[in-house]
Amino acid sequence: MTTEQLHDVRLHVNGSVHEVRVPARRLLSDALRHDCGLTGTHVGCEHGVCGACTVLVDGTPMRSCLMLTVSAVDAEITTVEGLTEDDGSAQGRLSPVQQAFSDCHGLQCGFCTPGFLTTITAGLRETPDPTEDEAREMIAGNLCRCTGYQNIVKSVLRASEITAERERGEA
């Protein structure tokens, strides 16, 4: 049996460079978890349906299970670990979307949460002040099996408020 060819790939993740050596078939989701050690990106269905593995690729939400690591060379990737804001403290400050999920009980088991957080972070950049319908449309491609969607929709709306409050310097 011949050894599988490995590719040297330089990934840009959350502002850091990760040099990984992977076979061409390594999904980006697996490279993030196993090669970069960033296990915040969760892997659910592995065929693009559940949305748990959603990351930001150059700021745009994409399914990391539907991308090959070797195709991600030129991209700046943001995972859930990269959402936290730098406020000078060691652990940083929760982003508005993360804070809203905490405030509104937007998560229960937390498995689907990283995909929701990345998707909503990008969604609010495009639609900063969504209606409830727009909030539902924003998360329509992500599945949650325990919290249910009511509190996640509330979290989207709350995240919009927190973002505005922080911009006004209130929080």
Partner 1 sequence: MKPAPFAFLRPSTLEEALAALAGEQGAKVLAGGQSLVPLLSMRLAAPSMLIDINALPDLGHVRVAEDGVRVGALARHAEVLASAEAAQAQPLLGMALSHVAHPTIRNRGTTVGSIVHADAAAEMPMVLRLLEGSVDVVSVRGRRTIPAAELFAGPLESTLAHDEIAVEAFFPGLAPGAGVAFQEIARRHGDYALVGVAAHVETDGEAVTRARVGFVSVSDVPVVVDVTAAVQDPGGDPAATALAELDPAEDIHATAAYRTHLVKVLAPRVLAAATDHARSRAGEAIRP
Lay out the sheet containing 76-78: strands in order across. 16-23, 6-13, 76-78, 54-57, 60-63
**Closer residue to partner 1 (CB): 16 or 71:** 71
Considering the complex, what minimum distance in angstroms separates the CB of residue 111 from partner 1? 17
- Helix (H, G, I), strand (E, B), or coil: what is residue 95? coil
Closest CA to 46 of 58, 57, 30: 30
Chain contacts with partner 1 (rule: CB under 8 A): 4-5, 7, 23-25, 27, 30, 46-48, 51, 54, 57, 60-63, 65-68, 70-71, 73-74, 119, 137-138, 140-141
Considering the complex, what minimum distance in angstroms separates the CB of residue 86 from partner 1? 26
Calculate the alpha carbon distances from 28 to 124, 126, 165 in Å.
Answer: 24, 25, 35
**Closer residue to partner 1 (CB): 56 or 94:** 56
**Closer residue to partner 1 (CB): 46 or 103:** 46
